[in-house]
Structure 1
Amino acid sequence: MACPLQTEGNALLKAVFQGKLRLTRLLLEGGAYINEGNERGETPISAACLASYDDQQTRQRMVRYLLEKGADPNIPDKSGRTALMHACAEQAGKEVVSLLLENGADPSLKDYSGSSALVHAINRGDRDTLQVLLDACKAKGKEVIIITTDTSPSGTKKTKQYLNSPPSPGIVDKLSPACMSPSDVEIGTSSPSVCCRRSTRTILS
């Protein structure tokens, strides 16, 4: 579910959030600043990822247009979340995530709680988006290791990420993982772990 977005006093942010592409275009042509954030630091590109549009095509068109006009997908809001993180957390879809990645979104950035876009995708059980992110990691030669812990009694899933360094031997021994391909794992049902190393991509369970 999309978070309430503060759009008061920011016509561009409001137009984007409401999915009004023509008005968005007019505002930008009239001099509106494409990366201006609201009081929470949410920019128009983040608003496009947070909005509850009637269909995915509207979101894709809006995100593509903003990126073409110079929107920066790596500007964090005051919680440290970028547009890519919002897209993953709100299940904006693999097409939107791909657009962001193709236009420079960094999948290795973390918000202030220590969660990256990959962590948000895992927590939502979005396997298609996770696959896109893993492919992006592989293409960039980034080494990412994510360990997803058990669901807490309150139902909250706690996910820990280790970037560019493996977890301690004790964690690996405790998990006793067996390798399988991404398509063999139901993300979110068995506390999966994800490893994206330089030349391999495996999901461990």
Structure 2
Amino acid sequence: MDRPLQTEGNALLKAVFQGKLRLTRLLLEGGAYINEGNERGETPISAACLATYDDPQTRQRMVRYLLEKGADPNIPDKSGRTALMHACAEQAGKEVVSLLLENGADPSLKDYSGSSALVHAINKGDRDTLQVLLDACKAKGKEVIIITTDTSPSGTKKTKQYLNSPPSPGIVDKLTPACMSPSEVEIGTSSPRKPIVHPNLKNREGVCLLNPN
């Protein structure tokens, strides 16, 4: 996370971020609004995905409890990121991602930079989470096309994604869909201009076609 989560004035957000499940329960039973965000629009369910807990089980218990109490995983913050995107960007783990997806988190949503949860998972090199997301897309009948661009001077890899909507004509023109698994996707590379490419598509620089169907 680039900046510390702002919890001042929001006792529920602070309790969630600190992993205090009992206090979180007391606050909700006392009438705290489960989807109230801070000044950046980050809600308690997003805080649970952003927090750094000593025990991974704490995150799972917190996320499960908040979802059971009606937390909406699709509320975006002011950068357009949902809890699912934060979970993927912070490598919260496939169990947390699965919980979010099972409770209505939409993997096709994109933040204001155009990145979805899939893009965040790929940029982190998280194969297990990527598989969970691909399975969710498959269940929804979505075809996933990932197009990677150049690595920025700072070393940050910029990734663009299209769901059920191909990019500009000519980029993937006459490209046969290829069925892939995360193990076949080259992810987490820091080499400049090195694309994520399916082995059968080596002649198509910068193109990775993921078709989970």
TM-score of the alignment, normalized to the shorter chain, above 0.5: yes
C-alpha distance 33-175 of structure 1, shift in aligned 2 (>3 A): same
C-alpha distance 52-175 of structure 1, shift in aligned 2 (>3 A): farther
Q: Which runs of 5+ in 2 are unaligned?
A: 193-212
Measured after TM superposition, the shift of residue 162 of structure 1 is 1.4
> Is the 1:88–1:97 contact (alpha carbons within 8 Å) kept by the matching residues of 2?
yes
Give the aligned length.
Answer: 193
> Is the 2:12–2:24 contact (alpha carbons within 8 Å) kept by the matching residues of 1?
yes
C-alpha distance 139-180 of structure 1, shift in aligned 2 (>3 A): closer
> Is the 2:130–2:182 contact (alpha carbons within 8 Å) kept by the matching residues of 1?
no
Measured after TM superposition, the shift of residue 108 of structure 1 is 0.3
| SS of the residue 2:170 aligns to | helix
Provide, for residues 124-179 of structure 1, a one-character-per-residue CA deviation record: whole Å limited to 9, x for no partner: 11111111000000001122211122322320101011121223454337999986
| SS of the residue 1:15 aligns to | helix
> Is the 2:50–2:90 contact (alpha carbons within 8 Å) kept by the matching residues of 1?
yes
> Once structures 1 and 2 are overlaid, which stretch shifts more, 168-177 or 68-77?
168-177
Provide, for residues 48-73 of structure 1, a one-character-per-residue CA deviation record: whole Å limited to 9, x for no partner: 00001002100000000000000000
Q: Which runs of 5+ in 1 are unaligned?
A: 193-204
Provide, for residues 2-36 of structure 1, a one-character-per-residue CA deviation record: whole Å limited to 9, x for no partner: 74100000000000000000000000011101000
C-alpha distance 179-149 of structure 1, shift in aligned 2 (>3 A): farther
Hey, what does 2:121 align to over in structure 1? 121
Among the aligned pairs, what percent are the same residue?
96
Provide, for residues 54-101 of structure 1, a one-character-per-residue CA deviation record: whole Å limited to 9, x for no partner: 021000000000000000000001111000000000000000000000
| SS of the residue 1:187 aligns to | coil
| SS of the residue 2:171 aligns to | helix
Measured after TM superposition, the shift of residue 122 of structure 1 is 0.8
> Is the 1:145–1:163 contact (alpha carbons within 8 Å) kept by the matching residues of 2?
yes
Measured after TM superposition, the shift of residue 190 of structure 1 is 8.2
C-alpha distance 181-81 of structure 1, shift in aligned 2 (>3 A): closer
| SS of the residue 2:145 aligns to | strand
User: TM-score, length-normalised on structure 2?
Assistant: 0.83
Hey, what does 2:136 align to over in structure 1? 136
Q: How far, CA to CA, are the matches of 1:127 and 1:2 in structure 2?
A: 23
C-alpha distance 6-150 of structure 1, shift in aligned 2 (>3 A): same
Q: How far, CA to CA, are the matches of 1:178 and 1:186 in structure 2?
A: 15
| SS of the residue 2:167 aligns to | coil
User: TM-score, length-normalised on structure 1?
Assistant: 0.86
> Is the 2:155–2:190 contact (alpha carbons within 8 Å) kept by the matching residues of 1?
no
Alignment of 1:93-104 (within 5 A): 93-104=93-104
| SS of the residue 1:171 aligns to | coil
| SS of the residue 1:175 aligns to | coil
| SS of the residue 1:147 aligns to | strand
C-alpha distance 179-70 of structure 1, shift in aligned 2 (>3 A): closer
